[in-house]
Structure 1
Amino acid sequence: MKTVIITGTSAGIGYKLSQIFSDKKFKVISLSRSSNITEIASKNIEHISFDITSDDDHQKFINHCKTNKIEIDILINNAGLLINKTFNDITVEDFRKIYDVNLFGVVKLIKNLFEFFSSDAHIVNISSIGGLIGSSKFKGLTAYSSSKAALNVLTEVLSEEYKDSNLTFNSLCLGSVQTKMLEKAFPGYKAEVSPLEMAEYIFDFSVNGKKLFSGKVIPISKSNP
């Protein structure tokens, strides 16, 4: 049984991804601060309470992987934080909070899990169309979009550094998806894509995308953004 680790699984895309991977007979390790994922009755899913900004939680998870001899076939960095404030109103502390989740948390997790990756593991970073250079931008998302742009470059550089291995790094830049995070940031806005629809796409890409893509930053959106 192959193993997938998914962050940000308490709701939305991450929650649906956990369901899909479990249904497809993957061993799912679900990482999120809250444990709604336990509502899914499946022996294939193991939920671990995890704050991606917490060094203690990272160390506990490293220990868990060592103790249980975990070998990771797919890592999906899905956890994210979005704060909608104009540049006038957003604070440096807001920037730090967003970067801690969207960039530095991902960096720490990838570094910490390197020894547990299978020889041909696929690392999929969930980014945003707002972080894609040349795309249209939303007002109020200076911190969020710039953090996702940094994540995209991280993906490209990691792919270059490890091009002589069989590890694959890719970044998916999602357009608007009707998640709680979107609803909180943009009250009243209705996205055309549901969490389930996007999760189905991400599942297929995570399993099969490494055959065709490596080090790519790929827009997944009907519009721009």
Structure 2
Amino acid sequence: MKKNIIVTGTSRGIGYQMVPILADSGHNVLALSRNDVPISGLEITNCYCFPCDITDSHDIKKVSEFIEEKWQHVDILINNSGYIVNKPFEKLTQSDFKDSYEVNVFGLAAITQAVLPFMNNDGHVVSISSMGGIQGSMKFPGLAAYSSSKGAVLTLTELLAEEYKEKGPSFNALALGAVQTEMLDEAFPGYKAPLSAKEMAEYIVEFSLTGNKYYNGKILQVSNSTP
């Protein structure tokens, strides 16, 4: 069954890989990222894209206007946008923390608020987090801003699932381990992850389409390695 699906953070990495997988399956996709060039270059007929900074209220408004005009409803929202900074804690600035939380938490909350009025009881909001945000998981020096913001995403997911449990949609979060993406390479040059961006994209797509049948308010750890 064809669904209307919004994916954030689609200019590269996992988000970029998800778009053609969803579109090739016949779904309508709205691909959002600050830079829309990579996705627009794919020339997929059932995929819409325009530049969108989820930390900008004017850009968020454009998303609501698009939904009203083109779709009227949204079935799935995949909150995939992410911002990472790798610095020793003593060298992290307030701006580093603000940038991390603006994208990973506040931007995620803003786009979710904008899309929720268009979602039904059987809708699904999937937020991409990190194993670094899991209590008791292995932590890495230099990721104080990033991992703490991703921990906030997990708690927010649980809270929203509780708040919307009577009327929907479902809210779940995937805490990813290491995946071979440009963002990982920037943070940890030379590190080789066990999974490619496309492999993880395939998993997230499948979970987004079916996971709300089995889960709500759940944090799933998606990692085949210690990190």
Per the shorter chain, which TM-score range? over 0.9
2:11 touches 2:35 (CA, 8 Å); kept in 1? yes
Task: Specify the SS of the correspondent of 1:140.
Answer: coil
Which position in structure 2 is the counterpart of 1:29? 30
Q: TM-score, normalised by structure 1?
A: 0.97
Give the Å deviation of 1:39: 2.2
Q: Which ranges in structure 1 are unaligned for 5 or more consecutive residues?
A: none
Q: Which ranges in structure 2 are unaligned for 5 or more consecutive residues?
A: none
Distance 2:108 2:77 in 1: 10
Task: Specify the SS of the correspondent of 2:110.
Answer: helix
Distance 2:95 2:31 in 1: 28
The C-alpha deviation readout for 1:147-188, integer Å capped at 9, x for no partner, is: 000000000010011111231000000001111111111111
Equivalent residue letter for 1:198: M
Which position in structure 2 is the counterpart of 1:19? 20
Distance 1:40 1:118 in 2: 30
Deviating above 4 A after TM superposition, structure 1's stretches of 4 or more consecutive aligned residues are: none
Distance 2:11 2:148 in 1: 24
Give the Å deviation of 1:9: 0.3
Equivalent residue letter for 1:25: G
Which position in structure 2 is the counterpart of 1:74? 76
Residue 87 (structure 1) aligned to one of 83, 86, 89: 89
Counting only pairs closer than 5 Å after superposition, residues 130-209 of structure 1 correspond to structure 2 as 130-209=132-211
Residue 112 (structure 1) aligned to one of 103, 114, 127: 114
Identity %: 46
Distance 2:101 2:226 in 1: 23
Which position in structure 1 is the counterpart of 2:226? 224
Task: Specify the SS of the correspondent of 1:68.
Answer: helix
Equivalent residue letter for 1:54: D
Distance 1:5 1:152 in 2: 20
Give the Å deviation of 1:69: 4.0
The C-alpha deviation readout for 1:66-113, integer Å capped at 9, x for no partner, is: 222431100000000000011011111110000000000011111111
Give the Å deviation of 1:118: 2.8
Task: Specify the SS of the correspondent of 1:198.
Answer: helix
Task: Specify the SS of the correspondent of 2:206.
Answer: helix
